[in-house]
Amino acid sequence: MRRAAFAVGLFLALFLVLAFLTLPIVAIFVHTSPGDLISSLGEQDARDALWLSLKTSLAALAIIVIVGTPAAYLLATREFRGRSVVVTLIELPLVLPPAVAGIALLASFGPEGLFGSALDDAGIQLVLQTAGVIVALTFVAAPFYLRQAQEAFAAVDRNLLDAARTLGASEARAFIRIAVPSAGQGIASGIALAWGRALGEFGATLMFAGSFPGITQTVPLAIFARFSDDFTAALALSGVLVIVSAALLLSVKVLGRSPILGGRAP
């Protein structure tokens, strides 16, 4: 009897979690007909925002993966003094409120910021520019990837790397041919998390790069711009973002399970 009650309790908890997390998303589609979705894509601004979101999030993701993967590998496989301090510092943006992230970026890369004049001398403009969006997305999304990748690398059997070395592989080759594929699933889920975070980024982008259609107005900013005067249009664009995000995340997950990335068929 007790056991049955416990099992019912577990199922009830799961039901509540599922209902609370999915109902709002379902609501978007209840309020939005497929026609609305399609017509919202007919607007130039909406298409620009979608394209900009895709472009900037992919650029940020490329930077994160190319620089972050070796960094995560180093953190996962080497012991050195101050390692845990470094890990904590890298994870800090995870807990920063977006508004603080925006202010922090302005204070460092803005015209009046720490590196403002240096960037200006180099002819680099970030604030109110598409490049600024990429910087903001990279800043907020990178820790998600770094965390996952570091965990994935730490879980790779060190004997595999040692075996690769005794089979004539340099450290770099062991990293590329053995460590990365073995950590493939963790890396893929890190990409999914970072990409999801980048696609949804709002506060830091708004403060650092502004909200100019076609230049810095990503989908979340476009939804916010519409929300006050045209709720239906905002809903439709939200629906589009949900579908695009879900499709991207799903494809990354599927790719992570595929043998190419070292995943094993279930």
Partner 1 sequence: MSGLEVRARDRLRELELDVELQVDGDGCAAIVGPSGAGKSTVLRIIAGLRHPDPGRVVMREEVWLDSGHGINLRPEERTCGLMFQDYALFPHLSAWRNVAFGMPGPRQDRRGRALEQLRRFGVEELADARPASLSGGERQRVALARSLARDPSVLLLDEPLAALDTRTRAHAGRELVHALRGTPALAIVVTHDFSEAAMLADEIFVMDEGRFVQRGTAAELSARPASAFVADFAGSVVLNGTARPDAGGLTRVDLDGGGVLHSTALIRGPVAALVFPWEISLEPGGAAHESSALNRLAVEVISVTEIGNRARIGLSSPQPLVAEVTVESIRSLALRPGARVTATWKATATRLVER
Q: Which residues bind partner 1 (CB under 8 A)?
A: 157, 159-160, 162-170, 177-178, 181-182, 184, 259, 262, 264
For residue 58, the minimal CB distance to partner 1 (Å) is 26
Q: Within 10 A of 265 (CB to CB), how many other CB atoms are there?
A: 6
For residue 108, the minimal CB distance to partner 1 (Å) is 40
SS (H, E, C) 125-185: CCCCCHHHHHHHHHHHHHHHHHHHHHHHHHCCCHHHHHHHHHCCCCHHHHHHHHHHHHCHH
Q: Is the dihedral of CA 149, 150, 156, 159 positive or negative?
A: positive
For residue 255, the minimal CB distance to partner 1 (Å) is 14
For residue 170, the minimal CB distance to partner 1 (Å) is 6
For residue 253, the minimal CB distance to partner 1 (Å) is 17
Q: How far apart are CA 195 and CA 138, in angstroms?
A: 10
C-alpha to C-alpha distances, 12 to 16, 143, 243, nearest whole angstrom = 6, 34, 28
Nearer to partner 1 by Cβ, of 3 and 264: the residue is: 264
DSSP string, 60-80: HHHHHHHHHHHHHHHHHH---
Place of tokens 């180093």: 74
